[in-house]
Structure 1
């Protein structure tokens, strides 16, 4: 790069240089690092899509990074949420990192396009997963660097769309970070590296857990349309959320696949609803407990528990058994190569943003989109096994799995909800019944 290049030039031109394979990534990074600050224009302009708790949390993490960052536009389905996010972030002493004029505050299900169209370098997508495939696709088509929270979709059609966009992002040399933050925590990284180096021999089985208490529920407001109600109460509708196994348990499933360095070829499972059956809480589609048996190509197993049951045993973690010992990927190994992580415990949400912003500042582009999509698909496969009561094959589901919300690109807050989520005359939503539910539409 020319010696007078600045950060903005690099961020805008990174798609062009990506295709020039003869240019060393190391040399490019060194050139950018050497000249960006001297040029006095090293600012990374950011657009936030999705202003809920995780969206605001991701922005705080980015503000705490060492980069020269500026939030320049926000979008949320609900205008009041977008406005509240700006007030909240401003109160947290980050006012100097926010420059969002009134005409850069966008709302509505379709408003993400106008937000991404704003002159920016990085798009942070923290919306419910049902909306991410089209938002990610649009950001890639616009040539933006992207951080996208997990999970990245709720159905196989969405995964196929994300994977196609990931390939396009690689061609354009775009940064793609995905919010599976354990992959950025040194305690996990070092432990799993030792497992890969043979510290516990061959991995033969794993248990992964996300067992928690109850979850939030937002009662219907009198003036809400059905679409507004479901978007505001998104955790309880599969086309937007993907169920608890997809929305939260994905973290532990991702670790298990990382440990194996592969993805499962099939899954069988079971689950249902025990507490979410009465009153307002029954206005929900999701299960409150699941159990899955995943099988990898080498016949090793990963057993999965996921639930939201108030008053029950809670545990979030992963445990690995090998031919020479056992391990907890969060920091210890037992057996002939016993070891325990003694380094600094870092917050994964913060570290993933330190890594992303630092890499952007150095011009060191990485792409986490593929494993983000495959780990999400692992969770979707488990959900479909639990819902259907059948053994689900990875390849068949990837090829034939359906779409929970056809036409989602054209949805507005006044649109009818997808057929898969429409209540009957008594206000009861469709509930998956094992043995009757059809995983392929």
Structure 2
């Protein structure tokens, strides 16, 4: 079982007897559903917010766990995506684990509230990063256990909101799992434990990479307004996804911070757009390459590359340099204490759900929310350094960082997109220009 912060345990029978649906002013509880267990069942009822994409994968992983689980409601911005995902999941071996009638399929940008309000034990949040802070906050306020995909926000105000909700989740003793699945993979866990035990001496530098060839793009539908287009094509808009460094490269940055046991105090970066949509600013906002130099408070460095450039070197991984050797955190150490992981390599997406569901069934609680938020902010720090071309300090960005989507709680699919993503008269989206862009509000 992975070591995690804030893990608490209680008698399993007591845990299963109580309710996790905490009403305002009521006594706080650690348990899963009252109604299910009153009937003598160990069933865990869960809902998925953002079922149209990664949420479907998370649901399938939960179905594959050893728990007695039941999907009871879903929410997605788009009805066709929600219905298609449910149909796909129901077509095979999971159909007996799904109880989602038409009146428990919720749509629109505020549909998450109705889904979370359904009698359930666990909420899975797998929406674009911009929407996660308010959805996480709502689930915590409702007293639900939560699994939330990474990254957990797209800007500094969002991260601060998540951190505040994490503190509330700890007070309520709620389970909070975050989709940084390498922390559940035994090859990473054992290697990093050996690094922490001194196998390569003092860590002096790290290199982390997410270098790939490209990502999906969804063409504009003829009847879609700007908000609908952007939400459907969310990876290409900074307010929604936070750029590639947040959406994908966060995994490697998280590993680097895990190795270090700390977070950087500043970042210097550079980046731009060489191939993204042929350089067409009417289709996408985000960069296709970033390169960062992170500095920790002891002066050590973490060097980062993230890119989507076809025809270039493609590699996803990490390297750690110490005073007595080097390490690949995914399972190898070189030097006087040479070692290689010999155990079974597990699928992290599946293992994180095994761990979460089995912990709930044992009456244990762990909370990954803080490192989920801080690793997200590490990625945001790097993005803002690359966008601005300046050295950006952690504390200053946390205090004064841009709000990319002011008033996001009130957004709707029929409304306007935020100014940070509003096209000009020629249909061109705002593109950050290093040397001119400011990371601060």
Q: TM-score, normalised by structure 2?
A: 0.93
4+ runs deviating over 3 angstroms: 1-6, 10-18, 36-39, 277-282
3-state SS in 1 of match to 2:218 = coil
The question of whether the paired residues in 1 share the 8 Å contact of 2:252 and 2:318 is answered with: yes
Q: Secondary structure in 1 aligned to 2:302?
A: strand
Q: Which residue of 1 aligns with 2:241?
A: 241
Cα distance in 2, alignment partners of residues 217 and 328 from structure 1: 33
- DSSP 3-state at the match of 1:239: helix
Q: Distance in 1 between matches of 2:231 and 2:213?
A: 22
The count of corresponding residues between Structure 1 and Structure 2 is 427
User: 8 Å contact 1:219–1:280 — kept in the other structure?
Assistant: no
Shift of 1:10: 4.9
Q: How does 1:415-434 map to 2 (within 5 A)?
A: 415-434=415-434
Residue 150 of structure 1 corresponds to 150
Q: For 2:229 and 2:270, locate their aligned partners in 1 and report how far apart those are by CA, in whole Å.
A: 29
Corresponding position of 1:25? none
Q: Which residue of the partner structure matches residue 305 of structure 1?
A: 305
Q: Would the aligned equivalents of 1:7 and 1:41 in 2 still touch at CA under 8 Å?
A: no
Matched, 1:9 2:18: yes
1:191 aligned counterpart, secondary structure: helix
Q: What do you get for the CA RMSD once the two structures are aligned?
A: 2.1
Q: Structure 2 vs 1, CA of residues 427 and 185 (structure 1 numbering), >3 Å: closer, same or farther?
A: same
Where does 1:227-306 land on structure 2 (aligned, <5 Å)?
A: 227-276=227-276, 278=278, 282-306=282-306
Q: Does 1:223 align with 2:223?
A: yes
Partner-residue secondary structure (3-state), 1:154: coil
C-alpha distance in 1, partners of 2:17/2:125? 21
Q: 2:159 maps to what in 1?
A: 159
Deviating more after overlay: 323-332 vs 40-49? 40-49
Distance in 2 (CA, whole Å) between partners of 1:3 and 1:194 is: 32
Consecutive unaligned residues of structure 2, counting only runs of 5 or more, are: 1-9
Counterpart CA distance in 1 for 2:416 and 2:306 is 31
Q: What residue number does 2:357 align with?
A: 357
Partner of 1:435: 435
Inter-CA distance 13–407: structure 2 relative to 1 (3 Å threshold): closer
Distance, in Å, in 1 between the alignment partners of 2:248 and 2:307 is: 10
SS of residue matched to 1:278: helix
Q: Report the equivalent of 1:184.
A: 184
Query: Is the 1:201–1:323 contact (alpha carbons within 8 Å) kept by the matching residues of 2?
Result: yes
Offset, 1:310: 1.3
SS at match of 1:235: helix
In 1, distance between residues paired with 2:239 and 2:371?
21
- Residues of 1 paired with 2:343 and 2:286: CA distance? 39
Tell me what 1:23 maps to. none
Q: Deviations over 1:163-209 (max 9, x none)?
A: 00000000011000000000000000000000000000000000000
Residue 278 of structure 1, CA deviation:
3.3
CA distance in 2 between counterparts of 1:65 and 1:328 reads 29
Counterpart for residue 402 of structure 2: 402
Tell me the CA shift for residue 9 of structure 1.
2.6
Partner of 1:324: 324
Match of 1:46 in 2: 46
Deviations 1:355-393 (A, max 9, x none): 000001111000000000000000000000000000000
Deviation at 1:91, TM superposition (A): 1.5
CA contact (8 A) 1:8 1:42 kept: no
